[in-house]
A and B are shown apart, each in its own frame.
Chain A
Amino acid sequence: MSEVEETIKRIQSHKGVLGIIVVNSEGIPILTSLDNSTTVQYAGLIHQLTMKARSTVRDIDPQNDLTFLRLRSKKHEIMVAPDKEYLLIVIQNPSE
């Protein structure tokens, strides 16, 4: 298996990780470990949020760019690694 897939499997087997989603640049999920409806929901909402976050960062200084986004809530933490062509989303429950 390729290194990418191995790493994804490893991340998923970490303690507390609920799921991992890869979304393309239009907001369509292309890889997921959650069920359909949850994936679609996460993909759409997180994509919009990431676009907004990136727009905010670059508006302040156009030479800057967003590298990582973490959203911590009561129940879990959503971590987003954005890129030009895709978004990597991991949902983890850190206090398990």
Chain B
Amino acid sequence: MKKSSIMNTKSQSRFTSRRSDISVSHTHSRRSVTLSESKLTDGKSAGGQRLGLIVLDEDGNDVTPKPLHSYDPTVQKSGFFGSDNQSTVGTPTDVMSFTSVYQSFAQPFSRSIYGSTSNRSAKSKRSSIESSGEITESGPEVTTGFADVMTVRREEVEDLTDEDLNKMVDVILEETDTIWMFEQKGIAVSEESEESQIIQTKNTAYEELCKTKEGNDRFAERGMQTFNFAQKHKEIQAEKVGLTDAAINVTSWDMYDTYASKEEPPTSDSNEGIIEKRGRSLGGGGERRGSRDGSVGTSRVTGRCLWGGKGGPLFLIIPTGVNPQWEKISNSESILKHLVVMERVVTENIYQPKQATYRGMSVLIDPDKEMEDAENATGGGSPDIMTAIGPTIDRLWSYSSPMTKGRNVSSMTWNKVNPDILAVGYGQFGFNEQNKNKGSLTCCWNLKNPEFPERVFHSKASVTALDFSSVYPNLLAVGLYDGTVCIYNVRNMTDQPVVDSFDCTGKHSSPVWQLCWIERERGLGEDRSEILISISADGRVVQWSIRKGFECSDLMKLKRTGSKNPQKKKEKAEALISRQAPGMCFDFHAKDSNMYLAGTEEGLIHKCSCSYNEQFLDTYTGHTGPLYKVRWSPYCPDVFLSCSSDWSIRLWKQTELKPVLNFFSTTKAVHDICWSPYSSTVFCAVNEGAVEIWDLKTNTLDPLITNLASPGMKFSCAIFSLNSNSVLVGDSDGHVSVYQLRNMSDKNEDKDASALSNIMNSTISSQVDKNSDEKRKE
């Protein structure tokens, strides 16, 4: 509690001005001990207004120190005088001089500081001072402005608003000026410097002085005493400063994310955002092991058990403790996409060899798998064995799933844009086999997942015909046994058709046996437009359009033409149920989209045109049973192939009304035929008991390859693959098997139509010869 006693000299101006001379003379000697070089001068020249004393240094500059604080006459001061002065100050004048000195020279650091403890002595001093009346006033008027110093400037405390807390405060770090706290120059000087000479002379002079010190009149000894005040211990206690370690890993993508998510323009300090996301970037795997063990452990007891599809139980333990999380995740959209991708990846692992063969790529051999014998190896096999066998078909895999088991495959079609997507319709052919309760399916299969279809559409009646659109590749037209035509959008996962012909007035009343999307060149300024054509057993070829609702219009009514059998003498009067012949199949010409062939149940093929809807252009006779399929050859524009339930397949030329070639190879109805897209002379025929691959170049009497069906299963339809040398065959058990053709003749030779036309021409010419021979005989 030692306070510096600094007094303003204002009130003392009275006596100091009077006593200045005396004080000057008295304090002269004192001053030399305590003060620096500045000397006291008469304050009269200054007029005694502010200070009683003005200090000038040797050069005459005014170096009067100003008081440290302003003097407030209303404030009382505690104590001032100390006992230090007692020994040296004898007279009141001396006291006064000291006070004046104390007042004028505000150098608190070099003075001893007197506190209120010395009040007693101060009072005694005052009493001595009061004895001299002149200076009585000095006591009470000696005040201190110390209270001023003690006044604490109070700052206004503002409440922090939320805005202030959330405000981004910019902290700018700058380099400050250098603050000299302490400087100590060394006292040792190198011998080689310039000053060393001077210092050495000084040192020697000092030594001489020390030697002559004793007994010298110039030096006088004098004692001093310093006060040793009683010491007091003081203990304080503070709260321990808490320390936390913080570490951060900054990655470039973290900064990128922060920039991307910030709304305001980013400031110069980019680490602000990173601190917020600290929790995310620090890996939580290792530290959380303990807590994780606990959470999974407790929930293990309560688990759910699901039964799998393949018979054995399938335990899927779902920890019920964190079930809400699973609920939230399972409802999100992304998990379904990820699951689909995952399923495809898993499937790829299983089917990779087969799919590679399908595509014609080499099979990846797992280096860790044990090598099997050469005979058992799938895929490649040694080339010698394979060529020795000759042309074969090799079954790669089959599209089937538990839900399609037991259903008859009625039709198949490829997607026009993505040749890996296959639409398969499952439905029964016969009336007795229609099962209304079971319903019927249309499935879209993807090559990437042969175990489960990507899309499933249910319908009540059996599916009998399918076709994908080429203009809108996501539209699938489906024809049903009850005559309904529906169009599905395969992009959706829903089970509802986009349009349904249920409400149309001109709809079919009998099964729709074939559907086809045909592109038409419409009027000016329109893009490619498509119409859907259907043929059904009620004898009509109907054209549908989806431009305004679902409209249909008849293209052709297939009239019954009585069997023109020239050998019969009289015409039998047949009781006809309807004047129209049920249509079973049709095929549009590839080049001329106006012309098409229609096959009927009578066994006749009619060549029709869209421009004439009353008459046929031509009628081809030859079959004796209902035609199941008519197909134009993709290579020869004049040639088409037909198959029927009369066990035969016939090859026709457009200009000839009689078949050019007939193929009898089986005693079962031939359900489907398909030209190969790779070879002009190869086609595939499916009858109930076998799959046959014919190659007209090698043999026109027998098929090249015959693959018999397993007992109990009947083949029902076939289609060639567009991007692979394979044929897909559907059977009555719900399987669509993929067979790859092997060791067929070199493909490149057969791409042109010449081979087929050569065969045709030679056959025709031989037939003409035969006919002319017969006529000649007759």
Q: Which chain A residues have a beta carbon within 8 Å of chain B's beta carbons?
A: 2-5, 7-17, 22, 24, 26-33, 36, 39-40, 43-45, 47-48, 51, 55, 58-59, 62-63, 68, 70, 74, 77, 79, 81, 83, 85-86, 88, 90, 92, 94-95
Contacts and interface: CB of A to CB of B under 8 A. Distances in A.
B316 interface: yes
20 contacts: A2-B330, A4-B330, A9-B308, A9-B314, A14-B350, A16-B350, A26-B284, A27-B285, A29-B292, A31-B319, A44-B292, A47-B285, A48-B283, A51-B285, A55-B251, A55-B253, A58-B256, A59-B252, A81-B341, A94-B350
B369 A95 contact: yes
Given A14-B346, A31-B326, A36-B300, A7 B336 contact: yes
Contacts of A29: 292, 296, 319
Contacts of A55: 251, 253
B426 to A, nearest CB: 20
A94 B366 contact: yes
Given A9-B314, A10-B452, A88 B342 contact: yes
Contacts of A45: 285
Nearest to B256: A62
B339 A11 contact: yes
A11 B329 CA distance: 18
Contacts of A30: 318-319, 322, 325-326, 329
A88 B342 CA distance: 9
Closest 6 CB pairs between A and B?
A58-B253, A62-B256, A94-B349, A81-B338, A62-B253, A48-B285
B568 interface: no
Contacts of B296: 28-29, 36, 39-40
Given A9-B308, A40-B296, A47-B285, A92 B335 contact: no
B451 A33 contact: no
Contacts of B315: 33
Interface in B226-268: 251-253, 255-257
A58 to B, nearest CB: 3
A15 B335 contact: no
B571 to A, nearest CB: 63
Interface in B315-352: 315-319, 322, 325-326, 329-330, 332, 334-336, 338-343, 345-347, 349-350, 352
Contacts of B336: 3-4, 7
A28 B292 CA distance: 6
Contacts of A77: 349
Interface of A: prevailing SS: mixed
Contacts of A40: 289, 292-293, 296
A34 to B, nearest CB: 8
Nearest to A29: B296
B295 interface: yes
B295 A28 contact: yes
B288 interface: yes
Contacts of A28: 288, 292, 295-296, 322
B306 interface: yes
Interface string B424-460: 0000000000000000000000000001100000000
A8 B316 contact: yes
A15 B308 CA distance: 13
Interface of B: prevailing SS: helix
Contacts of A43: 292
B90 interface: no
A86 B366 contact: no
A33 B314 contact: yes
A92 B315 CA distance: 17
A70 B352 CA distance: 15
B368 interface: yes
B297 interface: yes
B339 to A, nearest CB: 4
B564 interface: no
Interface in B695-709: none
Contact of B329 (A26, A51, A70, A85): A85
A44 B289 contact: yes
B252 A9 contact: no
Given A28-B322, A83-B335, A13 B329 contact: no
A29 B296 CA distance: 8
A9 B307 CA distance: 9
Q: Which of B306, B310, B322, B335 has the most CB of A within 10 A?
A: B335
A38 to B, nearest CB: 11
Q: Which of A11, A29, A79 has the most CB of B within 10 A?
A: A11
Nearest to A95: B369
Contacts of B332: 85
Nearest to B281: A55
A27 B346 contact: no
B252 A62 contact: yes
A29 B346 CA distance: 21
Contacts of A39: 296
Contacts of B330: 2, 4-5
B309 interface: yes
A51 B249 CA distance: 14
Contacts of A13: 308-310, 314
B492 to A, nearest CB: 14
